[in-house]
Structure 1
Amino acid sequence: MFWIDRRILTHFDFVLLFLILPLMLLSNYLIADVNTLLAKKQIVYYIVGFIAFFVAFLLPLREYRWLIPAIYWFNILLLLSVDIFGVSKLGAKRWLAIPFTHFTIQPSEIFKPAFILMLAYIIQNNPPPKEGYGWRDFLKISFYILLPFILIAKEPDLGTAMILLIIGYGVLFVVGVNWKIWATLAVLASLLAPLSYKYLLHDYQKRRIQDFLSEKPSYHVQQSIIAIGSGGLSGKPTEEATQTKLRFLPIATSDFIFAYYVERFGFFGAVALVLLYALLILHLFSIYFKLKGDFFTQVVALSISFLIFTYMSINIAMTIGLAPVVGVPLPLFSYGGSSFVNFMILFGLLEHLLAFRYRFLYNSTHI
């Protein structure tokens, strides 16, 4: 039976799990330092995340690949329904209430796996020619990228919308698009940027950019920079990490967990953490080059690597004052369930595509 086939273990990517586990363990240790109750809740999220990982791993994804467009459009309907039935929190309408319960879901979060699978589906069915995609194919794929970008940015949730945009066009850049298209888009983007800032951004989004460009950073960023600087080369013991212990550092377990991490483990610890992320990103990126011809798995691995890189870069840049403050977590590290579970679903899908690869390597009926 398939679940005891030795070829599953042969193709299973154990390196991926070995790179993820240190991030989880270190994250929970830091969260427990700040709030033991949150650390216990995070363990529950870990359990849910691994259950989601195994469910995704066991899904017969290749056999039912034809369902992916339906999943994509169902998620688009959820995004559209936010505008009609959405629940507002903190001035943004991003959530849908689950009937007869007190729970809500955020369609923009659960859309990410569907978005990545749709990209993989389109590129697998229409691989790029040697000279790269031309305008016709590029615009066709762009439709599937820009539609959710517009719907999510309208909520407003520009951070998530921009991340999808970076993933979509980052994948196209690596897979191959004619250079003339990129040159044309670069010129258009430079011309339209001032108009986009003036007419498309909300006031609070403009304030974030203005705070970022001002000589004096915002209060949150100031406290974050102080925490990072106080960590020195090797960091401080828990009782001496005053920026966090005295609650000067805001959201120390989530958005600004990197600042607390550096306060505790210093510059050397920060370098080690960034190197761990770099190994994870490069490992995922290497899958793209190893699996020539299997565009579906290539695009999924490439998308996840872009997703982790974007989250990590924005979060760290935000904490050191090199990017506007946005609600982007440090992947697999910040406290919270939705982001972690999403990543585990994506890792489960990727592991399935890798572990069950033999089914179309050795049996052409499964291509």
Structure 2
Amino acid sequence: MLNIDRRILAHFDFITIILLIPLILTSGWLIFEIHPVLGQKQMVYTSVGIGVFIAVFLLPVRRMLWMIPIMYWTGILLLLAVEFVGHSRLGAKRWIEIPFVHFTLQPSELIKPAFVLMLAYLISRNPPPRDGYGLKDFAKLSFYILLPFFLIAKEPDLGTATVLALLGFGVLFIVGVKWKIWVGLGIAFVVSLPLIYTQLHDYQKQRLHDFVGEKPSYQVEQSIIAVGSGGFFGKDKEDATQAQMKFLPIASSDFIFAYVVERFGFFGAFLLISLYAALIIHLLLIAAWAEDYYIKVVAGGLSLFFFIYMSVNIAMTIGFAPVVGVPLPMFSYGGSSFVNFMVMFAILENLLAYRFRYLYTDTGKKSFV
């Protein structure tokens, strides 16, 4: 029988788990309301995610840190493989089909944990000076951020690529970079905007045109109707016609926030956003207080993941951002994103619970019998 050492439990972060549970339970409930078959599948994804969380948490992560570059470069090779043997869907080449078993992998999802861990690995081996990283170190770290960005953007999947870039540079901001570099980077980005626009695909340009146009796209228009019809306390399931009568597109994934507002109104939306805010702030506090750069980067990276995904998804839903395939984290329907987040949370919990070396001694090993 598994007997967890009390010293491990003493350093386990229960607050994060307490904040995640209502997200997961509410998500499963609403997805089942929208589409029972998808709800059943989401229950399977949740079970798999919990199993993966337990398995990763019990691994001796700190003894396996040497594997991080292997994981990162394997992810890069898979992204390169997409270009040559990738499987296309709806005009995007993002998947690799495994022969004989008819199972597909999406390398842009698989690389996310390795991406965060690679930043932690590099920063831990070369911590920033008191006044922050200089140009040379910033350029080196930027290479590891921009390499997957360009490979994923080429698929094309500009939404995921942009999230990774924002996450990577956000982590560097948390860790510390000289302010002059940020000013120069901001000026370079603004100047290059016309060039960036010319490199966009036609459907990406169309999304921008829909966003700045007087009339929103059909998807956003139906989403705004759902949001507006929810009132302060929302509607019963039978009266939530935007989702139940299939007017609201992709109600279980990309536009699930609109269904939340239709069902539970402004009050429910406020509670959901407050829950996300509490989780993000909690993770940022862990990152701020941690002296261990692995904990700092993983906690900071998770907080940025949640903030970026949540902000873009909600802004998209109410017409304040272009429509991109960015899910509401740990809430929208889908297995790969959910399992990825569970992997990263398990790694963070492991780093926190086992952050003292004595827990890896022979005495510590006796706690698992």
TM-score bracket, normalised by the shorter chain, equals over 0.9
**Equivalent in the alignment of 2:299:** 301
* TM-score normalised to structure 1 length: 0.96
Contact 2:354 2:360 in 1 (8 A): no
Identity of aligned residues (%): 62
> How many Å separate the matches in 2 of 1:34 and 1:255?
13
Q: Secondary structure at the match of 2:62?
A: coil
Unpaired stretches in structure 2, ≥5 consecutive residues: 365-369
Show CA shifts across 1:289-341 (max 9, x none).
222x2011110000011001111111000000000111111011111111100
Matched, 1:38 2:38: yes
| CA-to-aligned-CA distance 1:219-267 (integer Å, 9 cap, x gap) | 0000000000000011011111111111111111111110011000000
Q: Distance in 2 between the 1:261 and 1:36 partners?
A: 17
Could you list the per-position Cα deviations for residues 273-297 of structure 1 after superposition, in whole angstroms to 9, with x for gaps in the alignment? 0000000111111101222x20111
Contact 1:234 1:267 in 2 (8 A): yes
Post-superposition shift, 1:358? 2.3
Shift of 1:3: 5.6
Does 2:171 correspond to 1:176? Answer: no
- Equivalent-residue separation in structure 2 for 1:212 and 1:349 (angstroms): 38
Counterpart residue number, 2:51: 51
Q: Secondary structure at the match of 1:163?
A: helix
2:104 is aligned with 1:104: yes
1:351 paired with 2:349, answer yes
1:4 Cα deviation from its structure 2 partner: 2.7
What's the counterpart of residue 252 of structure 1?
A: 251
Residue in structure 2 matched with residue 230 of structure 1 by the alignment: 229
Letter in 1 for 2:170: G
Q: CA deviation at 1:359?
A: 2.3
Task: Give the Cα separation in 2 of the matches to 1:158 and 1:34.
Answer: 28
Coordinate RMSD, CA, aligned = 1.5
Give 2:5's aligned amino acid.
D
Counterpart position of 2:261: 262
Distance 1:254 1:356, change over 3 A: same
Whole-angstrom distance in 2 between the partners of 1:56 and 1:361: 16
Instruction: State the aligned residue count.
Output: 362
CA contact (8 A) 2:149 2:164 kept: yes
- Relative to 1, partners in 2 of residues 1:101 and 1:128: Cα closer, same or farther, differing over 3 Å? same
Distance between the aligned counterparts of 2:115 and 2:267, measured in 1? 37
Secondary structure at the counterpart of residue 95 of structure 1: strand
Q: Are 2:220 and 2:319, in contact at CA under 8 Å, matched by a contact in 1?
A: yes
Secondary structure, counterpart of 1:62 in structure 2: helix
* Residue aligned with 1:93, SS: strand
The answer for the alignment partner of 1:311 in structure 2 is 309
Given that 1:7 and 1:358 are in contact with CA atoms closer than 8 Å, whether structure 2 keeps it comes out as no
Deviation by residue 1:112-170 (Cα, 9 ceiling, x = unmatched): 00000000000111111011000000000000000000100011110110000011000
SS of the aligned residue for 1:288 comes to helix
Distance change (3 Å), C-alpha of 1:184 and 1:54? same
TM-score (normalised: structure 2): 0.96
What is the correspondence of 1:147-166 to structure 2 with a 5 Å cutoff? 147-166=147-166
Query: 1 CA distance for matches of 2:174 and 2:322?
Result: 27
Q: Counterpart amino acid of 2:318?
A: I
Name the aligned partner's letter for residue 187 of structure 2.
V
Please identify runs of 4+ aligned residues in structure 1 that moved more than 3 A.
360-363
Cα deviation per residue 1:158-195 (whole Å; 9 max; x = unaligned)?
01100000110001111110111111111111111111
For residue 95 of structure 2, give the secondary structure of its aligned residue in structure 1. Answer: strand
Q: Unaligned stretches of 5+ in structure 1? A: none
Letter in 1 for 2:118: M
Distance 1:259 1:86, change over 3 A: same
Aligned AA (2:285): S
Aligned to 1:357, what secondary structure does the other structure show?
coil
Asked whether 1:145 is paired with 2:153, we answer no
Distance (Å, rounded) in 1 between the aligned partners of 2:82 and 2:204: 20
